[in-house]
């Protein structure tokens, strides 16, 4: 089974071919970051138009790079949601048109299912069941993953997502959008302990998160002071440590609560080195194992969508077919 996967939920156009026998054969991505940077965030209409421009050339490239053609592709998978509705509709229209033209089935994939299955693209993939920490620009969730399509949300953010908090704080520090990775490198030069920001929700039981207070704490720390390189680095360090510590403690509690032996990190913030290092020590203390995708598959990519599509097709699960793109879509409700 060979699947062509298409991701267009936000500001990356990404395409990949995944084969159940040979693994990932090719993947390509076009990032719109430079286009949106002038506006300090993603402009949905510009995103949709750029997906229209990029998809066909990327699909041609990936087909050539993977040695695939109409005859060797068995099925199509595209991101049906959640995301920007215009951007999603471009991917869906494209995949549906190709599906009709090639007479091959197409399936709509949940973007977050793609993210949490991404570690299965790696050489030493986790077996089911596992606990997943999904930390992206739009989501911060702890998920009990019993199997493909069997997802139970254990904890969620009450306000900002972890990536959103990174991006907003990065903006305060004068970094361009999206600032997560830039804030992380700024924090490398910062001093630990110069600023101790609150660890949101750690004083309460449960597995939910809240990050909106952190950017306010960063704002207060910066207020009335000259934005010197040392101050920026120290605030970045204090902020990153607060987020990492909060995520790590919730993961520790969730592992204990579920008894899972495997922890998967997925989503853009999963690329954060300090978070990975901290979670390594959490799993060590709990006799569990840590799994994460390579950095380029932490952030949005087509490989995770092609993989999720391939797994669903080979398991005979076609729940997403013909269900249409949607901006909001609960992961816990997608089923098998």
Minimal distance, residue 53 CB to Zn ion, in Å: 21
Tokens of 239: 């902020």
Query: Binding residue for Zn ion (CB under 5 A) from 68, 136, 157, 301?
Result: 136
Residue 120's binding partner out of ligand KG4, Zn ion, none, with CB under 5 to 8 Å set by partner kind: none
Q: Which is nearer to ligand KG4, 19 or 167 (CB)?
A: 167
Minimal distance, residue 85 CB to ligand KG4, in Å: 15
Q: What is the largest CA-CA distance in the chain?
A: 64
Q: Is 181 in the site for ligand KG4 (CB under 6 A)?
A: yes
Minimal distance, residue 80 CB to ligand KG4, in Å: 14
Interface of this chain with Zn ion, residues 196 to 225, rule: CB under 5 A:
none
What is the CB-side half-sphere exposure of residue 49 using CA atoms within 13 A? 7
Q: Is 180 in the site for ligand KG4 (CB under 6 A)?
A: yes
Q: Is 160 in the site for ligand KG4 (CB under 6 A)?
A: no
- Give the ranges where the chain is alpha helix by DSSP (H): 33-37, 44-65, 85-102, 111-117, 162-172, 180-188, 212-222, 229-258, 273-285, 295-298, 303-314
Minimal distance, residue 301 CB to ligand KG4, in Å: 8
From 59-67, 143-151, 210-218, 269-277, give the range in contact with ligand KG4 by CB under 6 A: 269-277
Give dist(CA 244, CA 232) in Å, integer: 18
Residue 184's binding partner out of ligand KG4, Zn ion, none, with CB under 5 to 8 Å set by partner kind: ligand KG4
Q: Is 300 in the site for Zn ion (CB under 5 A)?
A: yes
Minimal distance, residue 267 CB to Zn ion, in Å: 6
Q: Which is nearer to ligand KG4, 168 or 252 (CB)?
A: 168
Per-residue binding string, ligand KG4, 272-301, x by CB under 6 A, is x--------------------------xx-
Residues 6 or more apart whose Cβ sits within 8 Å of residue 300: 7, 9, 10, 11, 12, 14, 29, 111, 268
Q: Which is nearer to ligand KG4, 141 or 272 (CB)?
A: 272
Q: What is the torsion angle, in degrees rounded to the nearest 10, for the CA atoms of residue 19, residue 134, residue 92 and residue 336?
A: 70
User: Cβ distance 3 to 310 under 8 Å?
Assistant: yes
Q: Is 19 in the site for ligand KG4 (CB under 6 A)?
A: no
Q: Give 124's DSSP letter.
A: S
Give dist(CA 69, CA 91) in Å, integer: 19
Minimal distance, residue 134 CB to Zn ion, in Å: 9
Residues 6 or more apart whose Cβ sits within 8 Å of residue 93: none
DSSP-based three-state secondary structure for 98:
helix
Binding site for ligand KG4 (CB under 6 A): 136-138, 163, 166-167, 178-181, 184, 267-269, 271-272, 299-300
């Amino acid at each position: 089974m060979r699947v062509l996967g298409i991701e267009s939920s936000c500001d990356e156009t990404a395409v990949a071919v995944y084969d159940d026998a040979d693994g990932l054969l090719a993947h390509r991505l076009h990032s719109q970051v430079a286009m949106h940077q002038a506006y300090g965030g993603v402009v949905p209409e510009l995103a949709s138009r750029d997906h229209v421009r990029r998809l066909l050339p990327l699909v041609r490239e990936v087909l050539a790079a993977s040695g695939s053609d109409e005859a060797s592709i068995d099925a199509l998978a595209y991101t049906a949601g959640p995301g920007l509705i215009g951007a999603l509709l471009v991917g869906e229209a494209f995949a549906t048109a190709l599906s009709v033209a090639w007479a091959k089935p197409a399936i709509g994939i949940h973007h977050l299912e793609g993210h949490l299955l991404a570690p299965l693209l790696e050489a030493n993939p986790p077996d089911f069941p596992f606990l997943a920490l999904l930390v992206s620009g739009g989501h911060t969730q702890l998920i009990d993953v019993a199997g493909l399509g069997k997802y139970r949300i254990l904890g969620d953010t009450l306000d900002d997502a972890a990536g959103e908090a990174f991006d907003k704080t990065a903006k305060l520090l004068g970094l361009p959008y999206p600032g997560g990775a830039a804030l992380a490198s700024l924090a490398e030069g910062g001093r630990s302990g110069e600023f101790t920001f609150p660890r949101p929700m750690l004083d309460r039981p449960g597995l939910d998160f809240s990050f909106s207070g952190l950017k306010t704490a960063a704002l207060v720390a910066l207020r009335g002071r000259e934005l010197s390189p040392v101050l920026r680095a120290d605030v970045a360090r204090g902020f990153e440590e607060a987020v990492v510590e909060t995520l790590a403690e919730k993961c520790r509690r969730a592992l204990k609560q579920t008894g899972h032996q495997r922890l998967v990190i997925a989503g853009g913030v999963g690329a954060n080195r300090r978070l990975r290092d901290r979670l390594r020590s959490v799993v060590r203390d709990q006799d569990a194992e840590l799994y994460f995708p390579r950095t380029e598959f932490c952030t949005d990519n087509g490989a995770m969508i092609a993989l999720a599509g391939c797994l669903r097709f080979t398991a005979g699960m076609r729940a997403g077919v013909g269900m249409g793109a949607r901006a909001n879509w609960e992961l816990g409700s997608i089923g098998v």
